[in-house]
Chains A and B, each alone.
Chain A
Amino acid sequence: MSLPEKTNKGTPYTPDDLFVPLENSSYNVDHIAKPSVSYWKDAWIRLRQNKLSMAGLIVLILLILMAVFGPIISPYSYDHQVLTNGNQAPSSEHWFGTDNLGRDMFTRTWNGARISLFVGFMAAFIDFIIGVAYGGFSGYKGGRVDNFMMRIIEILYGLPYLLMVILLMVVMGPGLFTIIVALTVTGWVGMARIVRGQVLQLKNSEHVLASRTFGASAGRVIRKNLLPNTMGPIIVQMTLTVPTAIFAEAFLSFLGLGVQAPIASWGVMANDGLSAILSGHWWRLFFPAFFISLTMFAFNVLGDGLQDALDPKLRK
């Protein structure tokens, strides 16, 4: 780097010929070099650059499509038993083989996808509703209300999650509905904490003050000013809730506390397949196990990517 020449007095010397008037065209300050990009578009552009996350997204879309159409395109029904056809290896007739009661594994797998994905999405959605309401209110009110509400959260956060879910399942009895209730009763706490933290940070920012000066109600401020700015962390949290819920469902089914026969979730099928693997019927464990893992993988990498993409601090 060449430093400007210095005069004897030690002040930097700037030659006079640098002081020339600018051309007129550069006074056009309204001109914007790059089209302005909205937050969501920007996030999408950055997400698209993350190949692993995009793979996760595509896998998820395929899984959802198969969950919707898989049972429809299959000629078999998930609970139709053909006892003479038990434990058939995968073939052109039964793509994923059959289980010990001769039920078609392909149909059962995609039926299981419906159950598992439904549990995952419902748990995330209900967590979202409760968490945003609770966290938003607590953070917005602040002061004593916030203190009290956060005490409750702290206590709930100290409860061992899966242990409480198991207890609730014992009390409420197994079933699809009870699983979702059990998962959300304990699960919303994480979401509430995140929303509260964000709201606390945002509520003293200028745009919120402006809105309040114009007489906006608390509900309006929360809906219009605070929530849209909290959406990033909320979405990331939701993408990570879904695999947790799917895992918890599989875990519960595995302990015999999940959905009941003949309904097949992936967890139930994996539990059934566990004993089958020792007798060589690998496909009975492989397909449910593979798709549980694939779904969790897809959600995890998508969540990671979204975390990076939606973080405004990483914005270039």
Chain B
Amino acid sequence: MDGFGSDYSSGGSGGKMDPGVIMEQVKVQIAVANAQELLQRMTEKCFKKCIGKPGSTLDNSEQKCIAMCMDRYMDAWNTVSKTYNSRLQKERARM
């Protein structure tokens, strides 16, 4: 991903860049980075859970395990996010 650096510098040399455009680009890049982060961690965790001994193919039971693991990882992610968020709310209310 070389978008940020090149876009930013080209905006600087070619006059003022619309802040709205920058914000949109930043938002997209953050979303992409977060998706990649999730994908990477999920792949690592589900590989560990589901592939005991890597065989010559990804067999049916392994595929089923990975599919289930992905769903549970998303559940876990959402539970963690919700818990952390409500904890932050509570601490903000206490201040």
Chains A and B come from one and the same complex:
no
